[in-house]
């Protein structure tokens, strides 16, 4: 067993041994029930947690004699990378992972990590709701022992820094910016001229506070829910990525469900997606308001063209490395055009 994996296994054992932890959602299971463990890295206020709690109630209302769903927030089961490994091995049943991290498990996921892939949030949502686009990606990790069962909104990613507004890519020069642990994100920062510092989400606050990094990039919720706006005072809407979060499930567990049970789980995934996305809209509005009025964060609206042009080579290199994804890429462009035309 590798050292890091031993650590994850140990953490998991101690967390699970605690039984009814604060934030965990259900009382102890009866001996006839199978526990379904779902991990994520957000707080209990976050739309993802609220959606998962609805999922839990729904599954238990339909299949409660057999399954007891437990939702573990706030990296209680480990970082996202660790939770993906736990889902892979079946130590837990599901976890929420950023699409970014999944590209190291299947290169098909690189597609949704491309900067400026979507020209609007409408095109992004329509793409993610289209199974002819998502299926080849969502099922591409079956050999790795898991598959995606639904997507969750994570808004638009933008740069934010401790003390310098980012108006052009040149403003990123010399700045250490935390990115998610994915080759696409590291390359994106190189193309934009900043210095990429990959690390897990849970480490970002301390890294900002101790000045190990000068800034990060994320949606507005990171300012408030994760406290990054206490340290970073400039948030620049360069709109570089719309990266979905993905609920992944252990394949052996999913394949072990009877057809009737699977149907109920599928209904639960649809419900989760719906609730999370509805909650997301108000959560982002509230986060912006709180960041501006309570944390003193200034919102900056740069011209995005120079950022977009700098990132363009990433589209070409992905299409060259994976020509089989070209039809899917083109289908996304159709959604982009459709919503641009609807706007004008």
Which residues of the shown chain bind ligand GCU in the complex (CB under 6 A)?
Answer: 41, 80, 98, 154, 180, 201, 218, 222, 245
What DSSP line would sit under 64-120, residue for residue? Answer: TTTEEEEEE-TTTT--HHHHHHHHHHTSSSEEEEEHHHHTTT-GGGHHHHSTT--SS
**In the complex, minimum distance from the CB of residue 118 to ligand GCU, in angstroms, rounded to a whole number:** 16
**In the complex, minimum distance from the CB of residue 262 to ligand GCU, in angstroms, rounded to a whole number:** 26
| Residue position matching structure tokens 């994915």 | 182
Cβ proximity to ligand GCU: between 63 and 283 the closer is: 283
**In the complex, minimum distance from the CB of residue 222 to ligand GCU, in angstroms, rounded to a whole number:** 6
Per-residue three-class SS string for 171-206: HHCCCEEEECCCHHHHHHHHHHCCEEEECCHHHHHH
| Residue position matching structure tokens 């849970």 | 202
Cβ proximity to ligand GCU: between 80 and 224 the closer is: 80
DSSP type of residue 327:
H
**In the complex, minimum distance from the CB of residue 154 to ligand GCU, in angstroms, rounded to a whole number:** 4
**In the complex, minimum distance from the CB of residue 227 to ligand GCU, in angstroms, rounded to a whole number:** 13
**In the complex, minimum distance from the CB of residue 80 to ligand GCU, in angstroms, rounded to a whole number:** 5
Cβ-contact 160, 219 below 8 angstroms: no
94 vs 11: CA distance, rounded Å: 17
Cβ-contact 192, 169 below 8 angstroms: yes
Cβ-contact 220, 284 below 8 angstroms: yes
Cβ proximity to ligand GCU: between 123 and 242 the closer is: 242
**β-bridge partners, 250:** 146
**In the complex, minimum distance from the CB of residue 334 to ligand GCU, in angstroms, rounded to a whole number:** 27
Cβ-contact 55, 269 below 8 angstroms: yes
Residue nearest to ligand GCU (CB): 201
Cβ proximity to ligand GCU: between 41 and 273 the closer is: 41
Cβ proximity to ligand GCU: between 67 and 194 the closer is: 194
Cβ proximity to ligand GCU: between 138 and 201 the closer is: 201
Cβ proximity to ligand GCU: between 141 and 218 the closer is: 218
């Amino acid at each position: 067993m590798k050292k890091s994996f031993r650590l994850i296994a140990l953490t998991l054992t101690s967390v699970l041994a605690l039984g009814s932890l604060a934030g965990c959602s259900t009382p102890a299971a009866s001996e006839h029930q199978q526990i379904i463990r779902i991990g994520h890295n957000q707080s209990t206020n976050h739309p993802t947690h609220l959606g998962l709690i609805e999922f839990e109630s729904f599954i238990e209302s339909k299949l409660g004699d057999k399954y007891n769903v437990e939702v573990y927030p706030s990296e209680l089961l480990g970082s996202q990378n660790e939770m993906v490994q736990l889902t892979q091995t079946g130590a837990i049943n599901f976890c929420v992972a950023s699409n970014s991290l999944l590209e190291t498990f299947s290169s098909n996921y690189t597609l949704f990590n491309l900067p400026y892939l979507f020209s609007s949030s409408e095109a992004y949502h329509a793409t993610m709701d289209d199974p002819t686009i998502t299926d080849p990606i969502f099922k591409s990790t079956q050999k790795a022992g898991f598959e995606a069962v639904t997507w969750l909104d994570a808004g638009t990613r933008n740069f934010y820094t401790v003390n310098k507004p980012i108006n052009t890519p040149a403003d990123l020069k010399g700045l250490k910016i935390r990115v998610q642990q994915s080759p696409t994100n590291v390359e994106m920062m190189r193309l934009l001229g900043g210095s990429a510092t990959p690390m897990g989400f849970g480490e970002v606050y301390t890294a900002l506070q101790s000045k190990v990094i000068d800034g990060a990039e994320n949606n507005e919720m990171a300012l408030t829910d994760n406290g990054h706006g206490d340290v970073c005072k400039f948030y620049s809407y360069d709109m570089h990525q719309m990266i979905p979060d993905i609920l992944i499930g252990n394949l052996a567990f999913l394949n072990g469900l009877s057809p009737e049970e699977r149907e109920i789980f599928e209904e639960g995934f649809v419900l989760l997606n719906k609730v999370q996305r509805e909650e997301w809209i108000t959560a982002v509005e509230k986060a912006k308001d709180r960041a501006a009025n309570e944390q003193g964060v200034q919102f900056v609206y740069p011209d995005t063209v120079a950022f977009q042009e700098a990132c363009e080579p990433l589209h070409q290199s992905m299409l060259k490395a994976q020509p089989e994804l070209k039809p899917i890429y083109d289908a996304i462009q159709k959604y982009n055009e459709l919503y641009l035309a609807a706007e004008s």
